[in-house]
Structure 1
Amino acid sequence: MNIRDKTKLNLRGRPVATNREARRQSILKSAYEAFVELGFAKTTTAEVARRARTSKRAIYEVFESKTALFAAVIFENQHLIIDLPRADDELLPIEETLFRIFRLDIVAKEAKAREAILRLLTRESILFPELTDYLYEHEVIRSRELLIEWLELEHSRSRLSVNDPELYAGMLMDIVFGALLPHRPSHSEFDYLKRVEDIKQRLCIIITTML
């Protein structure tokens, strides 16, 4: 096959791949909206298909089960939860790096999406422990592990003194996510910004124990 023939083949194949990815993204978007609004139990593949304007068969061609679809939704939005791993050559001040790791300066729209994902994970992990097990077994959720690896790396660089990275990773996540999920949802931007500033101050306090 000459180069011209290969080019024709690639051009013919490209729309198929593009359409498949577009369909997958449409399903994920619709599933995200359904899971956030209805929860895992009340969300059916029929409901996702209706929202995505596709068929249940089309969903099962991409995702083997509703659990796999849920896992894909979480994986697709994990960047909203934690921004790791970091670039190998990143040498920002520790506090600035932590602010970026926990994405404390994202815009309001992304902040709301993050809160929705965190609430979804928190709610479903209580109702369906086996669902959480599935997410961990398939390494969909690795926020804690990635944070431990980052702490170990900074310790090896002598930028931090962390003898128990697992303990510190747990404390950091409790500080951030505990404050990002208030008991009562707030639609006030002022309240959100105040929470973020409080988180930053708390992170700065714990950083002093790691220097």
Structure 2
Amino acid sequence: MKNTQSGLERRQSEKRAAILAAAKTLFFKEGYGRTTMDRVLSAVGGSKRTLYGHFENKEALFKAIIAQVSDRVLSALTPQIETKEIRETLIDMGIRYLQVMTSADGIALYRAMVAEAIHFPDLADSFIQNGPGRASKHLADYLREQSNQKNLHIADPDMAAAQFMGMLRGNAHLLAVLTAQIPSHDEIEQIVKTAVDGFLTGCIRDG
């Protein structure tokens, strides 16, 4: 019985992943408004019962896609345990963050939200809360911890986190969104190092 249940859970997980993959392709290509659950079902196959068993409606499906991409951003903003110095930590976080933001999925999600936000404000709120909002809060918690330990001098960690992430995105993200001009790893590294050094100039405690 235990093995059978494990197999069932594995198949359900695989089916959910397949639904998300098919839906992501449709949402990013056609937009939220033009994508229907029937089209997702046609792309992924199976029954309506299975599809709606995983996602009760189109909004829930799109929110799951937002969460999926957002989780990659949060993973990028998770400090590495082996990294000891704040500068090294921020550089590592920054490189992985900008890589996600200029990735195919990151760009496609951003474009989709810009196109649909005015028509679907609830989705826009969900995107902000589960994407940029979560990422900024995660970084703010790290900066707050460093400030509490007297390693940094930051009066408002939440604002500092938002400003730092804005410095990272800069023109690189804008160019990627508008022209599909993706920065190379070396370009990303240079952008991040410059942003980190500028950010820390006003945050490092003397002595």
Q: TM-score range by the shorter chain?
A: 0.7 to 0.9
Greater RCO (CA < 8 Å, at least 6 residues apart): 2
Q: State the Cα deviation string for residues 94-134 of structure 1 (Å, max 9, x = none).
A: 232223323448879x8333333333344433443221224
Q: State the Cα deviation string for residues 58-113 of structure 1 (Å, max 9, x = none).
A: 221111221111111111122332424436x55432232223323448879x8333
Q: How many residues align?
A: 198
The match for 2:149 is 157
- Residues 27 and 102 (structure 1), Cα distance of their counterparts in 2 relative to 1, 3 Å cut: farther
Return 5+ residue gaps in structure 1 as ranges.
Answer: 1-8
Using the size of structure 2 for normalisation, the TM-score is 0.80
Instruction: Give the counterpart letter for 1:204 in structure 2.
Output: D
1:18 aligns with 2:10: yes
Rounded to whole Å, the distance in 2 between the matches of 1:198 and 1:107 is: 11
Q: State the Cα deviation string for residues 151-185 of structure 1 (Å, max 9, x = none).
A: 11111122221111122112112122343232532
Task: Look up the SS of the partner of 2:162 in the other structure.
Answer: helix
Aligned partner of 2:130 among 103, 119, 140: 140
The match for 1:206 is 199
Rounded to whole Å, the distance in 2 between the matches of 1:96 and 1:170 is: 19
Task: Look up the SS of the partner of 1:77 in the other structure.
Answer: helix
The match for 2:36 is 44
RMSD value, Cα: 2.8
Rounded to whole Å, the distance in 1 between the matches of 2:55 and 2:198 is: 44
Aligned partner of 1:131 among 116, 123, 134: 123
Aligned partner of 1:185 among 173, 179, 202: 179
The match for 2:59 is 67
Contact conserved, 2:154 with 2:160, CA < 8 A, in 1? yes
Percent identity between the aligned chains? 24
Contact conserved, 1:162 with 1:210, CA < 8 A, in 2? yes
CA drift at 1:44? 1.0
The match for 1:53 is 45
Instruction: Give the counterpart letter for 1:172 in structure 2.
Output: F
Instruction: Give the counterpart letter for 1:140 in structure 2.
Output: N
Rounded to whole Å, the distance in 2 between the matches of 1:199 and 1:126 is: 32
Rounded to whole Å, the distance in 1 between the matches of 2:13 and 2:123 is: 26
Rounded to whole Å, the distance in 1 between the matches of 2:122 and 2:13 is: 29
Rounded to whole Å, the distance in 1 between the matches of 2:22 and 2:10 is: 18
